[in-house]
Amino acid sequence: MPPADHVSPPLDALRARIAAIDERILTLVADRLDLVKGVGEAQREEGLPVRSFATEAEVLARFHRLARERGLDDQLAEHLAHLLIGEAVRAQEEAQATRSERARRVLVVGGAGKMGRWLAHFFAGQGHDVTTLDPAGPLAGFAAATDLATATRAADVVLIAAPLAAGAQVLADVLALGPSALVADVFSLKSHVLDVVRSAAARGLRVASLHPLFGPSVRTLGGRVMAVCDCGNAAAADEAAELFTDTALTVTRLPVERHDEAMQYVLGLSHLTAILFFTTLARSGHPFAELARTASTTFLKEARTAAEVARENPYLYFEIQNLNRHSPELFALVQGSLDAIRDSVLAAGPAAFVDLVQRGREYFPATLPVELG
DSSP-derived pairing of the beta strands 207-212 and 105-109 = unpaired
DSSP secondary structure letters along 159-203: EE-S-HHHHHHHHHHHHHT--SSEEEE--S--GGGHHHHHHHHHT
- Please check the confidence at residue 88 and state whether its pLDDT lies above 80: yes
DSSP secondary structure letters along 308-370: HHHTS-HHHHHHHHHS-TTHHHHHHHHHHHHHHHHHHHSSSSSHHHHHHHHHHHHHS-SS---
Inter-residue contact 96 to 44 (CB < 8 Å) = yes
Residue 372 confidence (pLDDT): 53
164 contact partners, CB below 8 Å, separation of at least 6: 187, 188, 189, 192, 316, 319, 320, 323
Average pLDDT, the chain: 90
Higher pLDDT, 147 or 221: 147
Inter-residue contact 132 to 138 (CB < 8 Å) = yes
Distance CA 171, CA 151 (A): 14
Residue 2 confidence (pLDDT): 55
Distance separating the N- and C-terminal Cα atoms of the chain: 47
**pTM of the complete model:** 0.76
Distance of CA 350 to the CA centre of its chain: 38
Digit-coded pLDDT (tens) for 324-342? 999 999 999 999 999 999 9
Confidence of residue 37 (pLDDT cuts 50, 70, 90): confident
Mean pLDDT of 139-144: 95
Residue 330 phi, psi dihedral angles, 5° rounding: -65, -45
